[in-house]
Structure 1
Amino acid sequence: MASYSSFILAVFIAISFSSMNISLAARNLLQTSNPTTPTLPKPTLPPLPTVPTLPQGKVPPLPTIPTLPQGKVPPLPTIPTLPQANVPPLPTIPTLPKPTQPSIPSTIPTIPTIPQFTLPPLPNFPTTIPITLPSFPFFTPPPSKTSP
């Protein structure tokens, strides 16, 4: 396992040194002036050959679709009417008397009202933050007996 980590370390160091040379070479190339490219003569190409025209063939006309003979469709049979059944009328439902609700006795005590509370006013908070800091006295060190 130790040899594996040392191999990785050696490869990393080798890549680091090679990238330094590459970066220096790139910097040198960037600092040089742009060379002028020579103008090359333009080659003349031969003209393209002409495409021959193909002969136009005669296409035969499409065949016509023959008409089918029209057959006679027999008429639909008539649906017989159903006999009407005599249904006796429904019996009437008797109406029920309306129930009456008993009245609430007036001897029930009334619900007391809830007292209303008022909240005390909020204290006033300062809107600005003081920027000045108080000064602290700093004592100077005693004078030294020897000079440096």
Structure 2
Amino acid sequence: MGYFNCIALACLMALSFSSIDVGLAARHLQQMPPMPTLPTTTLPPLPSIPNLPLPAMPRPGALPPLPTMPALPTFPAIPTATLPPLPSMPSIPRIPTAIPSIPFLPPPPSPSSTP
């Protein structure tokens, strides 16, 4: 617990010192004379992009016809499998709802006192 208090105190001190420095820097910036204006230059004009030539498109009648698709091969017939019938599900035993009686043992015989 003491170690945490030390770290918390160190963080608080670092935060306070940094805020003092920030405050002094802000005051220093406010007391400075205004900056002189910088000279501006004019940018040269951008070069123009030349027009690209359009490609010559072929006519639809000048193209060769598309090849025909070959016929797909026929697959052999798959034999059908016959499955055996599913076994019948066993019946679920019922959970007893009555609490069975607990047999009580007879009390031990009392010792008889014989002189």
With the length of structure 2 as denominator, give the TM-score of the two structures: 0.43
With the length of structure 1 as denominator, give the TM-score of the two structures: 0.34
Q: Specify which structure has the higher proportion of helix.
A: 2
In our comparison, the structure showing a higher alpha carbon Rg is 1
